Amino acid sequence: MSETKIGNVTHFFNELLVAAVKITDEELHTGDTIHIKGHTSDFLQEVASMQVEHESVDVAKPGDTVGIAVDQYVREHDTVYIVR
């Protein structure tokens, strides 16, 4: 498996377990597997759903900031990779 950086966590809503992720490099699709890595974060998960401005989307492109439900706590500045 290879990993490619696609963005960074810009905010974490701990009451909802949702990470705001700024997409910087490649497209992210619902169903993709991501790896979130930071000072205390390091886990893989499938992207079950994404939202932009409270609207569900299937694809996020560079420049988008999307909300992604996450399985664990993350922190601002954690790096998000797509796993292929």
Residues with Cβ within 8 Å of residue 62, at least 6 apart in sequence: 23, 24, 25, 26, 27
Name beta bridge partners: 56: 51
pLDDT at 16: 94
The enclosing domain of 78 has a CATH number of 2.40.30.10
Number of domains in the chain: 1
Helix (H, G, I), strand (E, B) or coil at 60: strand
pTM: 0.94
Domain residues for 44? 3-83
pLDDT of residue 63: 97
Residue 1 confidence (pLDDT) = 83
What distance lies between CA 7 and its chain's CA centroid? Answer: 7
68 in Cβ contact with 33 (< 8 Å): no
